[in-house]
C-alpha cells in the first residue's frame, strides 16, 4: 500500500492520523539500529507516542509501544498479522522456512511435531547430559589469561551443547566453521545491502547458509536409518496423519533455524548475566552462596527450581538485555489499534527492550535490580505482556524452558567454581540487534575458588 494511504483519513472516518516520524528519525534508526536500539525507539515513543509511522524503502513501518501493544500483536487473535511475511523480508534468504517464518495452520503443525523435544521428560534428560559436558568445558577457563573473553567461550560451549542435544553428535574440527557460519548468517539478517557481492556481509551470510545446508544434509541419511532421542532424529522420522514425511530440505531448514536459536540467544543471555554479576558483586556473592549451599557439584533438572536468587538474576538480565529486542509482523488486512487504523501490507513492530524499560511500569528501569521480580514487589505481574523476553502467543519461543535450564545449570557450576570481575568504569559495548551481544567479547577476570 502506498504511504500516502496511511496519511489520509478515510472518508467519513473520525480516526486521527497516525503520528509520523521525520526522515531524520528513520535515517538514524537505519544507520545505528544495531548498537542503539533502545535509545532510538525510546526517542520515537517520547516524541510521537505509542503508535508511530515511519517511511521505509520497502513498506510503511508502524511501531507500537507498551504491554497492550505486545498483547495485541503477540496474541494476534484475528490473524490480522503475519510473522512469515515480516521475517521473510528480514531473514527469509538466510533462515528459509524456519519455525518463526511460518503462519497459521502450517506453523501449528510444525510446532506440534517439535514440542515433544521440549517437554519436561526431555528437559530432564538434557540436563543430565549437559552437566558433565559443562563441567569439562569450564574446568580450565581461568587459565586462558587475565582477559578471558566470555562471549566466544559461551558461544562455543552452547554450540557444542546444541549439537549434542539437538543433533546427537559431538563436534570436532567443524566446530569453528559452524560457529562462523551461524555468526555470518545472523549478521546478514541486518544487512542494508542485500546483494550477493563477494566480501559483503550478505554474501558471507549466504555462504554460511550454504555450509550449513551441506553439513546438516550429510547427516540426514544416518538419522533416517536409525532412531535416537535428539530432535534431528525426531524430524527425520516424523509423519503427518496422512503418512507424509518431511523432505530433506524441510528438515535442513528447521535444523538451521533451531540450532541458531538454541545457542545464539542463550549465549547472549549468559554473557549479559556474566556482565551484570560482575558489575554487581553483591548479587554475585548472594547467588554463589545459594549455589554453594548444595553439597554437590551439579544440580539435576528437578533441583534447578531450588535456586531462586539465580532465577531472579536471570529474569532481571532478560529484562535489561532481551536477546531479541524487536518483534516484527506484516498486516494481512486493515485493523485498528489505539484509535488508529493501520492498513494492510504495513510492517508492524513491537519492542520488548522498550517495554522492559518503561518508567510507567518499572521502578528505576535502568537499574539492575533482581529483587523487582520477587514478592511482594513482583513488578512484572502488573500486566501479562509487560515482561516478554521470549515473545508470546502462538509464536512464543518453543525452546524457552530449554534455555532457562541450560543457563541455570551452567551458571550454577560457574558460581561454585569461580569469581569474576571487570575493571572499574568498564561499560560493555553492546550490540542490541538482531541478537544482543558485546562488541568486544566481554573481557573479564576469572579467579578460581579453592
pLDDT digits (tens, 9 = 90+) for 77-127: 999 999 999 999 988 888 899 998 999 999 998 888 788 778 898 899 999
For residue 123, give the nearest of 404, 414, 412 by alpha carbon.
Answer: 404
- Tell whether the torsion through CA atoms of 177, 179, 185 and 188 is positive or negative: negative
Give the model's confidence band at 9: pLDDT under 50 very low, under 70 low, under 90 confident, else very high.
Answer: very low
Q: What are the two backbone dihedrals, phi and then psi, of residue 134, each rounded to the nearest 5 degrees?
A: -60, -45
pLDDT band at 11 (very low <50, low <70, confident <90, very high): very low
**Angle formed at CA 16 by CA 12 and CA 19, multiple of 5 degrees:** 145
* Alpha-carbon span 125 to 127, nearest angstrom: 6
pLDDT greater than 50 at residue 192: yes
Collapsing DSSP states into helix, strand and coil, what is residue 450?
coil
Checking if the pLDDT of 450 tops 90, the result is: no
Q: Distance of CA 422 to CAs 46, 139, 279, 285, 317, Å?
A: 33, 20, 7, 15, 17
CATH superfamily of 3-448: Cytochrome P450 (1.10.630.10)
CB 90 within 8 A of CB 33: no
Strands 443-448 and 148-149, by their bridges, are antiparallel
Yes or no: say if 341 and 334 are a contact pair by the CB < 8 Å rule: yes
- The predicted pLDDT at position 61 comes to 93
Q: Where are the beta strands (DSSP E) in 28-72?
A: 51-54, 61-64
Q: How far apart are CA 435 and CA 260, in angstroms?
A: 11
Distance of CA 42 to the CA centre of its chain: 20
CA–CA gap between residue 309 and residue 428 (Å, rounded): 23
* Residue 23, pLDDT above cutoff 80: no
CA 434 to centroid of chain Cα atoms: 9
pLDDT category at 6 given cuts 50, 70, 90 is low
Give 113-142 pLDDT, tens digit per residue: 788 778 898 899 999 999 999 999 999 898
User: Using 50, 70 and 90 to split pLDDT, how confident is the model at 4?
Assistant: very low
CA dihedral 400, 284, 308, 313 (to 10 degrees): -40
Grid coordinates of 147: 582477559
List beta partners, residue 419.
447
Mean residue pLDDT across the chain: 89
In this predicted structure, what is the pLDDT of residue 183? 84
72-86, 239-253, 303-317, 348-362 — which is least confidently predicted?
239-253
Phi/psi of residue 352, nearest 5 degrees? -55, -40
Q: Do the beta carbons of residue 109 and residue 427 sit within 8 Å?
A: no
State the Cα–Cα distance between residues 108 and 396, nearest whole angstrom. Answer: 12
C-alpha cell at 192: 542494508
Can you tell me the distance from the alpha carbon of 95 to that of 257, in angstroms, rounded to the nearest whole number?
Answer: 6
Report whether the peptide linkage leading into residue 315 is cis, meaning its omega lies within 30 degrees of zero: no
Q: What is the pLDDT of residues 207-226, one digit of tens each?
A: 999 999 999 999 999 999 98
**Bigger pLDDT: 49 vs 186:** 49
Peptide bond into 406 cis (omega under 30): no
| Average pLDDT rounded to a whole number, residues 313-333 | 96
C-alpha distances in Å from residue 209, one per residue of 133, 152, 215: 27, 20, 10
Q: DSSP letters of 116-158? A: GGGSHHHHHHHHHHHHHHHHHHHTTGGGS-SSEEHHHHHHHHH
The pLDDT, as a whole number, for residue 145 is 58
Output Rg (C-alpha) for the chain, integer angstroms: 22
Beta strands in 49-157 (DSSP E): 51-54, 61-64, 81-82, 148-149
DSSP SS3 for 440:
coil
DSSP string across 307-368:
-HHHHHHHHHHHHHS-S---EEEEESS-EEETTEEE-SS-EEEE-HHHHTT-TTTSSSTTS-
- Please report, for the chain, the start and end positions of each structural domain, with discontinuous segments joined by +: 3-448
Confidence of residue 385 (pLDDT cuts 50, 70, 90): very high
Grid coordinates representing 246 are 518431511
Amino acid at each position: 500500500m502506498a504511504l500516502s494511504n496511511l496519511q489520509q483519513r478515510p472518508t467519513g472516518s473520525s480516526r486521527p492520523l497516525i503520528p509520523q516520524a521525520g526522515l531524520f528519525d528513520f535515517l538514524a534508526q537505519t544507520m545505528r539500529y544495531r548498537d542503539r536500539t533502545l535509545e532510538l525507539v525510546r526517542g520515537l515513543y517520547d516524541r510521537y507516542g505509542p503508535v508511530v509511522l515511519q517511511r521505509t524503502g520497502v513498506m510503511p513501518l508502524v511501531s507500537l509501544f507498551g504491554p497492550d501493544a505486545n498483547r495485541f500483536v503477540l496474541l494476534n487473535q484475528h490473524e490480522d498479522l503475519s510473522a512469515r511475511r515480516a521475517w521473510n523480508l528480514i531473514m527469509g534468504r538466510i533462515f528459509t522456512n524456519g519455525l518463526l517464518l511460518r503462519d497459521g495452520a502450517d506453523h501449528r503443525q510444525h510446532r506440534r511435531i517439535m514440542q515433544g523435544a521440549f517437554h519436561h521428560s526431555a528437559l530432564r534428560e538434557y540436563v543430565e547430559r549437559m552437566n558433565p559436558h559443562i563441567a569439562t568445558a569450564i574446568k580450565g577457563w581461568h587459565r586462558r589469561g587475565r582477559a578471558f573473553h566470555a562471549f566466544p567461550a559461551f558461544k562455543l560451549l552452547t554450540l557444542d551443547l546444541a549439537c549434542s542435544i539437538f543433533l546427537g553428535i559431538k563436534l570436532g574440527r567443524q566446530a569453528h566453521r559452524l560457529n562462523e557460519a551461524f555468526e555470518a548468517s545472523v549478521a546478514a539478517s541486518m544487512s542494508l545491502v542485500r546483494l550477493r557481492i563477494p566480501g559483503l556481509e550478505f554474501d558471507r551470510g549466504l555462504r554460511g547458509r550454504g555450509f550449513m545446508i551441506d553439513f546438516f544434509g550429510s547427516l540426514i541419511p544416518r538419522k533416517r536409518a536409525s532412531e535416537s532421542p535428539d530432535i534431528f532424529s525426531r524430524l527425520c522420522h516424523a509423519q503427518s496423519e496422512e503418512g507424509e514425511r518431511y523432505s530433506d530440505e524441510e528438515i535442513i531448514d528447521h535444523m538451521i533455524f533451531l540450532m541458531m536459536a538454541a545457542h545464539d540467544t542463550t549465549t547472549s543471555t549468559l554473557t549479559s548475566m556474566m556482565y551484570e554479576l560482575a558489575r554487581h558483586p553483591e548479587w554475585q556473592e548472594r547467588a554463589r552462596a545459594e549455589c554453594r549451599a548444595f553439597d554437590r557439584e551439579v544440580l539435576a533438572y528437578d533441583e534447578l527450581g531450588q535456586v531462586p536468587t539465580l532465577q531472579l538474576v536471570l529474569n532481571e538480565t532478560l529484562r535489561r538485555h532481551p536477546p531479541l529486542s524487536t518483534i516484527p509482523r506484516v498486516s494481512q488486512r486493515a485493523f485498528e489499534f489505539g484509535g488508529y487504523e493501520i492498513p494492510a501490507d504495513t510492517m508492524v513492530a513491537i519492542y520488548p527492550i522498550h517495554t522492559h524499560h518503561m518508567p510507567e511500569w518499572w521502578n528505576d528501569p535502568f537499574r539492575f535490580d533482581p529483587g523487582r521480580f520477587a514478592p511482594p514487589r513482583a513488578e512484572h505481574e502488573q500486566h501479562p505482556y509487560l515482561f516478554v523476553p521470549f515473545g508470546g502467543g502462538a509464536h512464543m519461543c518453543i525452546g524457552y524452558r530449554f534455555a532457562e535450564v541450560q543457563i541455570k545449570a551452567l551458571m550454577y557450576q560457574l558460581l561454585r567454581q569461580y569469581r569474576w570481575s571487570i575493571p572499574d568504569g568498564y561499560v560493555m559495548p553492546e550490540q542490541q540487534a538482531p541478537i544482543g551481544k558485546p562488541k568486544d567479547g566481554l573481557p573479564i577476570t576469572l579467579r578460581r575458588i579453592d
